[in-house]
Amino acid sequence: MHSHRQNMIRPLRILLVLPLLFAGLTMLILFFKPQNGSLDSSRFHNNHQRVNGSYFYRHPDGIYVSVPSDGMVPVPEADPESFTALNGKNAQIGWDATQVFCGHQVLPGLQPPVQALGNHLYSDGRSTYYCDHFTERRSAGFWGYIGASVRQAAAGRHISHYHYPFRLLDDAGKTFRALPHSQWLSTDGSRFYYRGEPIAAAQDTPFPIIDSRHEPRAYEAQTLAASREALRLDSRASPYLADGSRVFYQTRLLDVPDDEALRTLHYAAWGGFDLLYHAQGGALFVDGEALNPDQPPYRLLSRSDSHAQHLFFSNAKGLYFYDHESRRARKVAGNRLPWRDFKEIDDGYLSSNGSDLIFFLSQEGWGQRSGLDGYRTQIARLADVAPGRWQRWGEPHWHLWQKGEAVYYFNTLKRSQHHGGGVYLVPQPQRLREQLQQRHANTDTVARWIEEGLLLPAEHDIIATAESRWKNDTFKMVMWPLLIGAAIGWGAYRLLLKHGVNLDPFVIENGHLLINNALGKKYPLAEIAQVRFSIRHHYFGLTSGRLQVVLRDGSRSMAYVFAPARALLANKLRLEAEIARLQTLLQQHGVTSEYPSAE
């Protein structure tokens, strides 16, 4: 009966090829995407002509456009002879005698030439399009990436995952105009649009909410000379908007009323995000999503991202930080310190009563092969017991502060690979003053001053730590095809079981012992001296079998792994029963076998 069952050799070969083919094609798309006519920027250097100072280039092979993250992308529909383009803030727009292009994409229905209306709006007098000046990723996620690659490859086009996004606003002759107080807003006289999308709930003209980066900080020695309107103009890029009663993130209505004390902030730590907060304490929004780990009102600890890689904020119950990798807020400390009372006296250096001092330190974890593993921000408290209050010493841009008789240097330079901020005692203030009068501090000069003993690291205690694990998108994109391939393999294996395919570690056919795997190695029965079985023990009392073919000339095969049918691992008793069955099968064909049962 055994000889009539189909062996696994051919099905296993198919079983291995299919998932490997899937994974291989996926990797090819992910990392070795065909260029389909695109040119590397270096090949463009001596063989192109820029069109009117735009992003478009005339090349012997046709018209190309620069797409950040994708290089020089062909525009096959464009006629090189009649092609022209706009420049400056409209450099992504071009046209030939019959078509208008937003980057490498045709704007359907738009007739050349077009007029730039401002804020990335373009019209031929009848149709109006929004075409962004900045590129964005075309499809998010693993499947979007793969799907876009397959579609573009099938169409014979360059595989491009970045583009200049565009939207049709109207094709019936409506008149649009840009709103001067924002680089994203426009109107048709009755509706308002953000980057070409309608703000459906806006009841009045929306204005950008003030970006707090454009307000003087408390520690800066200057007065607020700008009007609210001027601050709004400085905040033209803010994605948070208000129409006098309602607040929006881009086009989406937020559950918070408009208030003069609302502020926005682009926090530029890892990844970067846009924050909406209330200057006196209130709700928090990150990229338009409410951030509510507990109960508002929340108050920012600091706006500084010079040495803090996390945003910290507090409420009545304690201190929290925002983990940008998990998109969640986490509690990091209770109310042992009066967090809400701390005020910045310098960039990232805070005091609650003019005497104590806390500041930020940051570190990054790097693996030899994996790259960035994670990053952390520590809140440190200066271990200083000297009497007195903090007073600035010297020029504001020196960042020197005096407390009692001691003078300290506050490192406000941006993070670098080797220097992460901190407070330094200055044993010779006058000598350091002379150095600062000659040159501005930078990472190299600070490092030299530390080596020369002009700056001594001040003692401090770590009172809170925020930590994030880095999300490696490349790892996820590699793991997906491998997991899918494994799922295909497991499903095919179950299908083999269902159809009664022989899963024994070997089959005997036509005077040969065939190893029942994808390789299908053959051993003539007449040349076999013995088949040896053994057991390997694993965790939790599980085992797997090994068999080795010993030939009459003394040579031996590799050790082949096996387990009872319908199992990957088994306990010892079950595996020994399987070995006994296989020994009987070999004996029926005149083959000697050995199993050291005492093992």
Cβ-proximal residues to 535 (8 Å cutoff; 6+ apart), any chain: 543, 544, 545, 546, 572, 575, 576, 579, 599
pLDDT at 599: 47
pLDDT tops 60 at residue 36: no
| Burial of 171 from C-beta contacts in 10 A (0-12 / 13-18 / 19+) | middle
For residue 422, report the phi and psi dihedrals to the nearest 5 degrees. Answer: 125, 170
Long-range contacts of 255-262 (CB under 8 A, 24+ apart): 255/290, 256/282, 256/283, 256/285, 262/209, 262/210
Q: Are residue 487 and residue 573 in the same domain, yes or no?
A: no
302-321: average pLDDT = 91
- Whether the per-residue pLDDT at 270 is higher than 60: the answer is yes
Compute the distance between CA of residue 137 and CA of residue 144 in angstroms, rounded to an integer: 10
Phi and psi angles of residue 134, each rounded to the nearest 5 degrees, phi first: -110, 145
Question: Are the C-beta atoms of 324 and 468 separated by less than 8 Å?
Answer: yes
192 closest CA partner among 261, 119, 260 = 119
Is residue 33 scored above 60 in pLDDT? no
Please report whether residue 403 resides in a domain. no
What is the secondary structure of 103-131 as a DSSP string? TTEE-TTPPSS-EEEETTEEESSS-EEEE
Q: Is the dihedral of CA 230, 236, 237, 238 positive or negative?
A: positive
Query: The tokens of 180 are what?
Result: 């001067």
Is residue 114 in some structural domain?
yes
Of the candidates 178, 205, 222, which is a domain's last residue?
178
pLDDT for 218: 45
21 is written with which tokens? Answer: 């083919």
Higher-confidence residue: 164 or 438? 164
In this structure, which amino acid lies at residue 486?
A: A
Q: Tell me the backbone φ, ψ of residue 69, rounded to 5 degrees.
A: 80, -10
Query: Residue 41: pLDDT band by 50, 70, 90 thresholds?
Result: low
Look up the domain containing 578 and give its range.
504-594
User: Residues 46, 160: one domain?
Assistant: yes
Query: Which CATH number covers residue 579?
Result: 2.30.29
**Residue 407: partners with Cβ closer than 8 Å, 6 or more residues away:** 393, 400, 401, 425, 426, 429
Return the closest-CA partner of residue 195 out of 229, 149, 156, 237.
Answer: 237
Domain check: are 124 and 18 in the same one? no
Distance CA 593, CA 464 (A): 67
Give the C-alpha distances (Å, rounded to integers) separating 255 from 162, 290, 430, 506. Answer: 33, 9, 55, 68
d(CA 557, CA 510): 20
Asked whether residue 418 carries a pLDDT value surpassing 50, the answer given is: no
Q: Is the pLDDT of residue 379 over 60?
A: yes
Position 443 scores a pLDDT of 78
Please tell me whether residues 489 and 516 are part of one structural domain: no
Q: At which of 125, 155, 178 does a domain end?
A: 178
Residues 28 and 57 occupy one common structural domain: no
Residue 65 corresponds to which tokens in the numbers above? 């456009």
Question: Domain total for the chain?
Answer: 3
Assess if residue 451 is contained within a domain: no
In the listed set 128, 148, 178, which residue is the last one of a domain according to the structure? 178
For residues 15 and 119, state if they share a domain. Answer: no
Report which of 566, 593, 572, 561 is spatially closest to residue 503, judged by C-alpha positions: 566
More confident residue, 230 or 452: 452
pLDDT tier for residue 363 given thresholds of 50, 70 and 90: confident
Q: What is the mean pLDDT of residues 154-159?
A: 56
Residue of 166, 152, 42 whose CA lies nearest to 114: 166
Q: What angle do CA 176, 178, 211 make, to 5 degrees?
A: 145
Cβ atoms of 571 and 545 closer than 8 Å = no
Whether 274 is covered by a domain: the verdict is no
Do 20 and 127 lie in one domain? The reply is: no
- Do 58 and 147 reside in the same domain of the chain? yes
Question: Same domain for 61 and 139?
Answer: yes
4: in domain: yes
Of the CA atoms within 13 Å of residue 558, those in its CB half-sphere come to 8
For residue range 534-569, list pLDDT tens digits in order.
998 877 777 888 999 999 999 999 999 887 765 556
409 assigned to some structural domain: no
What pLDDT does residue 97 have? 97
Let me know if 356 is exposed, middle or buried by CB neighbors in 10 A (0-12, 13-18, 19+): middle
Output 130 or 371, whichever has higher pLDDT: 130
Half-sphere exposure of 339 (CA within 13 A, CB side): 24
Three-state SS at 72: strand
Is residue 383 included in any domain, yes or no? no
pLDDT at 331: 94
First to last CA, the chain: 32
Is there a single domain that holds both residue 20 and residue 78? no
How sure is the predictor about 139, in pLDDT bands with cuts at 50, 70 and 90? low
Contact 65, 91 (CB under 8 A): no
Please classify residue 265 by burial: count the beta carbons closer than 10 Å to its beta carbon, then call 0-12 exposed, 13-18 middle and 19+ buried. Answer: buried
Q: Judge whether 78 lies within some domain.
A: yes
Name the residue type at position 83: F
Phi/psi zone of residue 557: left (φ > 0), alpha (ψ -120 to 50 degrees), beta? beta
On the question of pLDDT at 44 being above 70, the answer is: no
Does one domain contain both 72 and 82? yes
Q: Within 10 Å of residue 524's Cβ, how many Cβ atoms? A: 12
Identify whether residues 111 and 12 lie together within a single domain: no
